[in-house]
Each structure stands twice: as structure tokens, then as C-alpha cells.
Structure 1
Amino acid sequence: MTPLTIMRLMRLEDIPQVVHIDELSFPTPWSARTYEFEINNRDTSHLVVLEIANHNEPRARGFKSMFHWLTGSRSFSSPIVGYGGCWLIAGEAHISTIAVHPTYRGLGLGELLLAGMLQRSINLGGEYSVLEVRIGNTSAQALYHKYEYAIVGRRQGYYRDNGEDAYLMEVRPLDHAYQQR
């Protein structure tokens, strides 16, 4: 069952949980300092989190216990289960990052994050969206195709950890007709 979640803008106090998810999700995670910079750069950077609305749900209680054990921190009221980032510059909505905690994958939360970031981009004047995705990440590519992203290029050796190429994907235009589909 998909947990009831709330999407909201990322705050500085979310950084420890976000970094933890990032470390579980990517071989070259962003640093806490990078997230701090992005949060403080609200003109172009838009970071969101998904948090459990009912933090007494059994999975949420287990997540909070694990987080406390790993970090020693009790600084959150509801566990964050996913996050995403988008840079909005000159009409381009560039999806910079998106991840869901492994415990909560396969529940549609990544799609919820993507849809939320696209809606926010449209509301803020985004005209089109781009992103990079690992060539080997076929599940992410399937999600992006569902939202009408098309492969428009290939970035050779884009990922520093292993030199894997990335597809450059794009969807345009982000307009009323796109929202209706």
C-alpha cells in the first residue's frame, strides 16, 4: 500500500535525511553543503521532499528508528521518503536529481515527485524540461517516457563514478495541452 505523503519544499533541517537517501541511491551523492547551497538559491533551484503524512504507520516508525540509529538525530517529525530537484532558468526546467528511499521504491513515489516538479515548473513559467539519465537505468527511462520525455542526445562519459554515458531527454512544450494529457 502506498503511504500517504506530503510534498513540500526542502528545508535545511531535511538535509541529513536527504543525504542519507542520496547515499543509498547514487554512487556519487551530493554533499550536505551542496544541498544547503541549493536550498538557499531559491531563485533558480527548487528542491522538494516527500514525507510520510502518517508517521505512526509501521514502516515510518521503523524508518525513524533506523535514521536515529544511523545519525543519532531525532530532528524530524515525519520521515522523508524521497526528494527531487529542479533548476528553472530561462524557461528550461532541468530535473537535477530525484530519488526514493529503497524501502519505499516501487510504490509510485518517484512518479509523484516527477509530476510534482513538472507542475511546479509549469506554475513558475517553465516552457520545457530536460534531464540526464544513465543509459543503463531503464526503469527511470520508462518513467520519463511515460511523461513524454524523448531522447534528444547522448552525453559521453557523463557519470564520473564509472564513465557511463547519459541520455539527454527532453519534453516540450510544458503547456496547458501537456497538463491535460
Structure 2
Amino acid sequence: MEFALLLVRLMRKEDIDQVTEIDRKAFPNMWPPVNYHHELQNPLAHYIVVADEEKTIGEVDVKIAPQKGFSGLASRVRQWLGYNRFSASETPFSGRQYIAGFAGFWVVADEAHIISLAVRETLYRRGIGELLLIGIIDLVAQLKARIITLEVRVSNTAALGLYRKYGFIQVGLRRGYYIDNKEDAILMSTEDITSASFQAHLQQLKEAHSRKWGIPFYQVAC
């Protein structure tokens, strides 16, 4: 698929069907499934998507696979808090932008923790995951947080390479963290993302990404 104009923006209620589809294919063992209607009302949670501004999706294009498997406590906690941050009205399927990927994070005090980042499996290796990571870092800085942390499977070499490229370093190891196969998780963290050195490096990476993929980055509006 070729894209006319990709845009990183906040997730809306009208995106939930597509995000849920992407989520369940990327994380098939997550149980219970994430309730994104609740997540968009959580004052700690922030979600972004990569959307194609000139492509829309029809109802037949959204196919949500049945959920199975188990997850840890975090997936349950994410559904407990409520506060209405969004006022977007529901949009008919025929008018919905095509969602290529999504990401989410929590912010507590001056620290953000990435809880999800996923791309449609048909769009791997197109720079979309990296674009989402750029969007997260940009939005976290706007929200006045300074540090970003995450967990990643020890076997996920592609993700590890991407995170290291953007300044994440290993700060710990969570043994048996993943419920499906008891795989260990590497805990990673950035330095202060508001520092001049980090921002200068980030700008270089943004420009390199744009040159490689032809996707300009526009600041995500809070």
C-alpha cells in the first residue's frame, strides 16, 4: 500500500476498531483485552496513531480477531481509572482515516512508560514503528516529562535496535515477565529527553527518517 500523507496524531474514539484489530494481532496473548474506550478516559494514559489523511476505511476492512491468552496486572490496571480527555464524536466507517499503527504510554510525575507500540503486520519495515517512537518522545516532552521507560522482550532484536538508536539503555532485567512463555524483559530508559544533547540527536534522527521514508514529521498536538 502506498500512502498519500501520513500523520501522527492523538487517538480518537473513531480509531478504536482499527487499533483493537492491530493490537490483537500484535499481542494475541493479552488477556483481558485492552478496553480503549476506557483508556481514552484515563488521565494518565496517552495514545497516538499514524493515520493516512487521504485514505479511509470501510467497515468490511476491520476484522477483530477473537482474543485468547493471559496478561499481567498492568493490562487490568489500565482499565480502572476514568477521566474524559476526549470529546471526539463517533465517525461513520466510511469517513475514518486508515490507521497504520498506534502507541500508548502512561505519564506519572516526570516519567513516561511506554505500554504499547504496534504496526499493521502488512506494513512492517516501512518506518512506521520508528515514526510512532518519534511521536511518543515528542509528546512526552510536551507533557513536561523527562524520562521514558519501557520493557521489551530479550528476543525482540529489531525493537531493541530501534530503542537503542533513540537513546534507550538497559537499566534492568525482569525475569519471566511475559506470561505466554515466561520470557525475560529488558527494562530500558532514556536520559533526560529535554536536554539539549538529546534533543539535538533526536532532530538528526527525525531528519534522517524523513529523508529515508519521505514522511515529514509534524509535532503531535497535546
Residue correspondence of structure 1 range 27-176 to structure 2 within 5 A? 27-29=28-30, 34-41=35-42, 43-55=43-55, 64=58, 67-68=61-62, 70=63, 74=93, 76-176=95-195
Q: CA deviation at 1:77?
A: 2.0
Name the SS of the counterpart of 1:144 in structure 2: helix
1:144 partner amino acid: Y
Contact 1:45 1:86 in 2 (8 A): yes
1:112 partner amino acid: L
Task: Please state which structure has a larger fraction of its residues in helix.
Answer: 1
CA separation in 1, counterparts of 2:159 and 2:189? 14
Q: Please list every run of 5 or more consecutive structure 2 residues that lacks an aligned counterpart in the other structure.
A: 65-91, 202-222
Name the SS of the counterpart of 2:14 in structure 1: helix
Name the SS of the counterpart of 2:40 in structure 1: helix
CA separation in 2, counterparts of 1:144 and 1:162? 23
CA separation in 2, counterparts of 1:84 and 1:126? 17
CA separation in 1, counterparts of 2:34 and 2:148? 26
Q: CA deviation at 1:86?
A: 1.0
CA separation in 2, counterparts of 1:167 and 1:106? 23
- Compute the TM-score of the two structures, normalised by the length of structure 1: 0.86
1:14 partner amino acid: D
Contact 2:47 2:103 in 1 (8 A): yes
Q: CA deviation at 1:32?
A: 5.9
2:186 partner amino acid: Y
Q: Please list every run of 5 or more consecutive structure 1 residues that lacks an aligned counterpart in the other structure.
A: none
Q: Residues 131 and 6 (structure 1 numbering): CA distance in 2 closer, same or farther, change over 3 Å?
A: same
Q: CA deviation at 1:74?
A: 3.0
1:23 partner amino acid: R
Q: Which moved more, 1:27-36 or 1:149-158?
A: 27-36
CA separation in 2, counterparts of 1:130 and 1:76? 35
